[in-house]
Structure 1
Amino acid sequence: MSIDVDLYRARALNEYRFSKVRSEAMVSVRIPGGILPARLLSVAQEIAEKYGNGLIHLTTRQKLAMPGIRYEDMDKVNAALEPFIREIEIEMCGVQVADPKAGYQAIGGRNIVACQGNRICQKANVDTTGLAQRLEKEIYPSKYHLKVVVSGCPNDCAKAYMADIGIIGVTRIRFSYNRCIGCGACVRACKNHAVDCLSLNNGKATKEKNLCIGCSECVLACPTLAWQRMPEQLYQVRLGGRTSKKTPRVGKIFLNWVSEEVIVSLIRNIFEFEKEMLSGTPIYLHMGHLIDRAGYMYFKDRVLQGVNFNLGAQVADRMYWQEDSYRADAHMKSV
């Protein structure tokens, strides 16, 4: 006999989702940054084969999901997830977990998505995996909905533009005038792959600094290392991106050239903002909808309270969104 829905709801504080099959659910494991020890794949395999339908779904949020979990097996599955919770949440991310055999204790803060970052990719300016794992204890556990995406550079392979909070690694770039041989490789790279802010002047590369987005394409192109990344890890933060049935849109720049400490303070304040806007009742709403409800100026003042900015940080005076809509009758006609 299957467990009734009320009992399921009482137990489903964890990473469970209802299934189209009555009495079955799908459980997923959090993998901040999309990196996990290979040995944990065997744990997922055992759960899928012993308690599920033998399949594993790789979700769009970089999680492993096992469908076909029967309600009466949830406690056993939670205990079987202990290696994931211990090795990833506790050991890698430093999350405080009272009972690692009790399963995941919240479903609000979504798994942090990240590209492979500068541990692997030559274009990446920052260690996305490390940042995602350090931010995990700020995101989980939380009752309030929040999607965070980290991209290592403005190429944005992880689609930070479409997240509640999109974090993009940017870099200040040092130029050594005497190293430059005037070959133009950086100029061509910036024109073809970035924002066309470089030119040659009297046989040397020059930059329009106000146009530079810190992508480091010039660093990769230069044969003499005239362009080099500065060691400080800096980020651009975009807010309000979302895919949804209700006014999908691309996130806009909120902060630029900020440190990790600024991002941590921002996330903590955003959760307090969500709690305030929802009167303490967690409801599935994208943060952009809450910004719209509160108004940008109030939102900005609220989430920047107590934030200590690093030197050179920038904050958007205003944010303007181009809304889109799925309402076909707004712009379509029958043929």
Structure 2
Amino acid sequence: MNNDIDIKKLRLNCFRQSKVSGEFMLQMRIPGGTVNAKYLSVVQYIAQTWGDGTFHVGMRQTFNIPGIKYENTEAVNEYIEQYIKEVEVDECDCDMAIDKNGYPTIGARNIMACIGNTHCIKGNVNTKDMANKIEKLVFPSNYHIKVSVAGCPNDCGKGHFQDFGVIGQARMEYHPERCIGCGACVKACEHHATRVLSMNQNGRVDKDPCCCVGCGECVLACPASAWTRKPEKFYRIIIGGRSGKQNPRMGQTFINFASEEVVLGVFGNWQKFSEWALDYKPQYLHGGHLIDRAGYHKFKEIILSDVNLNPEALVAENVFWKETEYRSNINVKPIKQHESIESNRPLR
């Protein structure tokens, strides 16, 4: 039966092929990982009417509804029209036409986010708000990208293993007149962060700013409010991470202490970079692979074009990834690296 089904077209509608012939799983996007509880009734109706009665909370924070027969996919697409309108357009303000044909593309994958500072005491930023703003810039698109937003450098959203990870940071302010010299912040930084704090001979705290990741552990530990977060919000942008069978790797820092405007400027240039890297011919290749193809410096040139960096922002001069390489014990051959695209290709 599958020979008569356009699998690629269904995948664009966010249906995933099952190992059972003629069955598919719908992936309902949840931008930022948070959605009104009323939509659980939508999931329930689809699962019980057209699916197998179950749903799976997808690893990318989606409602995954398996067991949908091919002949019912059009009915499902028609049913989720209102959900797509309310979640993608009304909430995220994505520029897309809404009709009875379901999702227009699977291109930019569902942007993940931890719960952020709306609940978590360690959260520095509103992750849902940032995820929605990024969605507006990258979805829908035929160019593929995986993004996760984390509220603090704990990175519960696993931004280090995405094409782009966006991690909330804070700048801390020390108030020595409030300090009681207890050393709680020093211990917290030593145990949970990057060990940049120390006690001086005067019983006050010294800080080596070189390696502060902006986590805010000192603020949480201080019993006297000698450390406070500054009101400005900052972000670390991680690039090039991925899992997968071939060459999984952890992403590396692209920009440290970027403002929200810089983050959104970067994602505003993503489409332009993808078009250039793929010569205006969309393929199912994710962002990390496109960065590999273009080379870091060309990527940086395009992705930061017309972006005004805030004074605190620190951009990596070079980025080097360490990949896990798998080799056979028989007929060992070196893994071919992606060839760099010629740097003089014009932007259309």
- Class of the TM-score when normalised by the shorter of the 2 chains: over 0.9
| Alpha-carbon distance change, 208 to 81 in structure 1, aligned in 2, over 3 angstroms | same
Partner of residue 51, structure 2: 52
Q: Contact 1:242–1:286 at 8 Å: present in 2 too?
A: no
Q: 1:305-332: per-residue Cα shift (whole Å, max 9, x none)? A: 11111121110000011111233539x9
- 1:83-122 pair list within 5 angstroms: 83-122=82-121
**CA shift for structure 1 position 88:** 1.2
Counterpart Cα distance in 2 of 1:90 and 1:258: 27
The answer to whether residue 3 in structure 2 is matched with residue 13 in structure 1 is no
Change in Cα spacing, 1:270 to 1:5, as seen in structure 2 (3 Å) is same
Q: What RMSD in Å do the two structures reach over aligned CA positions?
A: 1.8
Q: Indicate if the aligned counterparts of 1:240 and 1:286 stay in contact, CA closer than 8 A.
A: no
- Runs of 4 or more consecutive aligned structure 1 residues displaced over 6 Å after TM superposition: none
Quote the residue 1:41 is aligned against.
40
Partner residue in 1 for 2:232:
232
Contact 1:79-1:101 within 8 A present in 2 as well: yes
The amino acid that maps onto 2:265 is S
Residue 96 of structure 1, CA deviation: 3.1
What residue number does 1:124 align with? 123
Separation in structure 2 between the aligned mates of residue 226 and residue 114 of structure 1, nearest angstrom:
30
By how many angstroms is 1:3 displaced? 9.2
- Does the 8 Å CA contact 1:62/1:111 hold for their aligned counterparts? yes
Q: How many residues align?
A: 330
Q: Structure 2 unaligned runs (5+)?
A: 333-348
The Cα offsets for residues 270-290 of structure 1, whole Å up to 9 and x where unpaired, read as 222122221222222232222
Q: Give the percent of matched residue pairs that are identical in Structure 1 and Structure 2.
A: 48
Deviation at 1:197, TM superposition (A): 0.6
For residues 243 and 99 of structure 2, the distance between their equivalents in structure 1, rounded to whole angstroms, comes to: 33
User: Shift of the alpha carbon at 1:231?
Assistant: 0.9
* Distance (Å, rounded) in 2 between the aligned partners of 1:102 and 1:189: 53
CA deviation profile, 1:5-46 (whole Å, cap 9, x unmatched):
13x544543111111111111111110111011110011010
8 Å contact 1:2–1:71 — kept in the other structure?
no
Q: Bigger shift: 306-315 or 214-223?
A: 306-315
- Tell me what 2:212 maps to: 212
User: Any conservation in 1 of the 2:238–2:251 contact (CA below 8 Å)?
Assistant: yes
Structure 1 residue 188 and structure 2 residue 206: aligned?
A: no
CA distance in 2, matches of 1:10, 1:167: 31
- Asked if 1:299 is matched to 2:299, the reply is yes
Moved more, 145-154 or 18-27: 18-27
SS at match of 1:238: strand
Distance, in Å, in 2 between the alignment partners of 1:43 and 1:318 is 47
Alpha carbons of structure 1 residues 275 and 150: separation in structure 2 relative to 1, 3 Å: same
**Superposition deviation, residue 87 in structure 1:** 2.3
Q: What residue in structure 2 maps to residue 241 of structure 1? A: 241
Alignment partners' CA distance in 2, 1:224 and 1:10:
59
What corresponds to 2:346 in structure 1?
none
* TM-score, structure 2 as length reference: 0.90
C-alpha distance in structure 2 between counterparts of 1:328 and 1:35, whole Å: 43
Report the equivalent of 1:261.
261
* Aligned twin of 2:4: 4
Alignment correspondent of 1:273: 273
